[in-house]
Structures are given as C-alpha cells and as structure tokens.
Chain A
C-alpha cells in the first residue's frame, strides 16, 4: 500500500457484529477515513443495527441511502437485502440483483467495487463468519495493491470466513482485533 487510504471496507458474518464493534469503539468521532460495513443479516429483517452501533461507537452510524456521498466521520451500514456498490464520484449505488455466495448484501460485491474505484487507497478487513463470502473480494483488493487484513481465525468466533481468505490470499495481513484497531488509529489524521 503506497498511497494514503481513502476508504475502509469491513465485512463480517456470524460473530461479525461483536468483532466490528470492538474495532470501531475506540475510533474518534472525527475519524478521517470513511468506513463501510457489510454484515450478513437475515433477509427481510427490519432490525435496528444502526441503533446498536450508534450506542456503542463514537462515529456516526447510518444505514446507506441510495446515491448518498461518502464522507469521513461515518460508519456506513449496508442495508439488508441490497448489495452496495460504489460509484466513481464517491457515492453509493444500491443493487438488488442475484444473491452472491447466498448473500445479499454480499461482501465480495462491495469489496470488488471499492477496489475498482479506490485501487490502492482502500483497506479491506474480513472478520468472523461461517461463510466463504468476502475472500475473493479481498483478494481483488490485494491484487489492486490495496491492504488486505484478515481477523486472526484463532480469535474469531467462527473461523470459516477468515480462514477461507487466508487460504486464498498468501500475503494478506493476519491480525487480532486489538492490532486492527491500533492500525486504524495510526492512520487517523487529525
């Protein structure tokens, strides 16, 4: 990774909520890099993920709105039952097409799209989950010289997802949640 990062994309499934909360909790409210969070959820679930995050983190947590522009200080949550793509002008585009890896939102879809737009200025982080979604998207980020981080499977609540990524991407960074958090904090420009 050469350039300064412009976007952090985080994917997770089973155990991903807790893991991502742990990473995001210590980030300051004016954290300088926008964060997009794609978590697998039940279809047609009308849950309150946004409130859950809003209570526990200092950044503003919002569910992604169609064509919304991407700004720092926010954690953008993928809405249930939509894929999240990113446009060249740094706005979100939602998509309700086929499930990928049995999932919508799919982590692969967002990771791939983020790498197409931001290239080596994107950081992809894959957390705990009982799925193979995310690994090929993270590989794509890695191939475009972005940074590919995988939660240490030994620490993950379910290791299927991180392990699938590690098997697919020799050279990805394997980190514990505390190290991921410290790394993200070190990128903050105040």
Chain B
C-alpha cells in the first residue's frame, strides 16, 4: 500500500506547481511526475527545509530563490560529446548533407549550460561549416543560458571530455579549443560567435524559425506523453523539408504522431530525417 505521507506529498506538490504556474507562468503540468517529485525532495533537503510549506514563503516572495528552484528542478546535467557515437554519426551522415546548403540553421533546444552546444560548434568548425551556420540555443532557464554563453566549464571533466571528443572523431588537439585557468577552462568565444541565445519554453512557446537540424537530447525524457507530443509537433513545424532531428539515446520518435513522416538515418543514435 502507498503511505499516506506519499499521497500528502503529491497533493501538496501539485498545488504548489499550480501556484507557480499562476505567479511565474512556468507550467510543470506536462512533466513526468516521478522525476519532478524526486527533484523537489532533493531541493528541500539541499535547502534544509522540512516541508513544502516552508518552501512556499521564499519561493513566492523572492524571484532569485525561484530561479534557483527552477534550475534545480529542471535538470541541467549535461556533458560534452555525450554518447560519442551520436556525434560521430552527425559528422558522418548529417554534416556532409548540410554542407551542400549555402547557409545552415540549427536549433539546440534545451541547451542547458552549453556543453553540447560547444561540442556541436567544434564539430561544425572541423567540418568547415561553422562560419555559415547560425545556431539558436534555447532553454527555459535564463541562468543556464548565461552560463552557456560564457563557455566556462570545470577542468576536472576535461580528461573524460577529451576521450569522448576523440571517440566522436575529433581531429585536433582538444586543448586547442580552450584556455585553462584556476581549475576552470574557457572555450574560445569564436566557437559561439554565430550563436543566438534565447529563452524558450518547450512546454508553452511556439515555433520561431525554420531549421535544417534540431538537437534536443535528454529533454523529452522529463516530459509526459502529451507534452512530448506537443514538442514533436513543434519540431515538425520548425524543420525544413528533409531536415534532421537528433534525440537522446533512449528517446524515440516511433511512438509519436509525426513518426510516419520521418526516416531513421541512424536508428541506434536516434537521428531522424523529415521526408518531405
């Protein structure tokens, strides 16, 4: 049997999320529940709060505190060249086709703190495409967008990122892309010269441009079915004919209503191409 404390927790969270929607306009309605509950519990523990009631006052009185809450509850964990085979596949199967276009537009949806964005920019640079590519990097959270723009990451991850970079077919010394300082590394800002950083909420906002490639990796796992479907439709509207869509390793287009119009370019790496 389910314990009454669990049921109470769920009811209180749902009412809290409703109030957040009213006051701040962020709608968590379509998010997968297990993950949201877990992250709220983590946030409570992290802030040494004993109950959801104690969370209410600071959350609704202090918008900085809310930003912090938003950052913790929406997952912002990301890596450079995560799943190297995905990036290798982009390099081998997608970029050669995009290179035939005079001008390339890419949407990195849910870019978080920018690790994937810099991975993508490095890939484009090495394939000689960066200069004629415009990337729109969007996230629901303004704070992480600012971090992404700065391109500063902890140096302790560099050995793992370097290995992933070479596994993804990297062609240079990886360290040539960044400078190290006091335990951090800063990636060359020329990599994101053509990047537009823009707040965008996949749960509520609409399409804003047309793209040749959309990357949205490990974002949809946090959404429920309905919201996933909304986002797939949004991507479908935002992709040019014969455009590409890249998802996370465990995310699939196959259950969605738009799947009939897409062909898997690389099924294992979840790279799809729009058919008309």
Q: Which residues of A contact B (CB under 8 A)?
A: 3, 43-44, 46, 64-67, 79, 81-82, 85-88, 93-98, 109, 112-113, 116-117, 119-121, 144
Closest 8 CB pairs of A and B: A85-B34, A97-B75, A96-B218, A93-B32, A93-B34, A94-B221, A87-B34, A119-B1
CA distance A64 to B38 in the complex (A): 20
Chain B interface residues toward A at CB < 8 A: 1-3, 6, 32-35, 37-39, 75, 77, 82-85, 160, 164, 167, 218, 220-222, 225, 248-252, 255
Task: List chain B residues, Cβ under 8 A from A85.
Answer: 32, 34-35, 38
Having A79-B250, A117-B2, one finds 19 other A-B pairs with CB under 8 Å, namely A44-B82, A44-B83, A44-B164, A65-B252, A66-B252, A79-B249, A85-B32, A88-B33, A93-B33, A93-B221, A95-B34, A95-B38, A95-B221, A95-B222, A96-B77, A96-B221, A113-B38, A116-B34, A117-B34
Q: Are A96 and B75 in contact (CB under 8 A)?
A: yes
- Report B45 CB to chain A, min CB distance, Å: 12
The minimal Cβ–Cβ distance linking B176 to chain A, given in whole angstroms, is 23
B33 touches A87 (CB 8 A): yes
Instruction: Tell me, rounded to whole Å, the shortest Cβ–Cβ distance linking A51 to chain B.
Output: 15
**A66 and B218 contact, CB distance less than 8 A:** no
| CB neighbours of A119 from chain B (8 A) | 1-3, 6
Nearest CB in chain A: distance from B219 CB, A? 10
Q: How far, in angstroms, from A43 to B157 measured CA to CA in the complex?
A: 13
B143 to chain A: closest CB distance in Å? Answer: 17
| B225 neighbours in A (Cβ, 8 Å) | 67
B38 to chain A, nearest CB (A): 7
In the assembled complex, how far is the CB of residue A14 from the closest CB belonging to chain B, in whole angstroms?
21
What are 15 sample pairs from A and B whose C-beta atoms fall under 8 A apart? A43-B160, A44-B167, A66-B251, A85-B32, A85-B35, A86-B34, A93-B221, A94-B221, A95-B34, A95-B75, A95-B222, A97-B75, A97-B77, A98-B77, A121-B1
Complex: A119 Cα to B1 Cα, angstroms: 5
Q: Are B34 and A44 in contact (CB under 8 A)?
A: no
Asked whether A116 and B75 contact (CB < 8 A) given A87-B34, A97-B39, the answer is: no
In the assembled complex, the Cα of A121 lies from the Cα of B221 at a distance in Å of 26
In the complex, how many angstroms separate the beta carbon of A130 from the nearest chain B beta carbon? 21
Q: Choose from A65, A120, A121 the contact partner of B250 (Cβ within 8 Å).
A: A65
Report the separation of the CA atoms of residues A105 and B7 in the bound assembly, to the nearest whole angstrom.
26
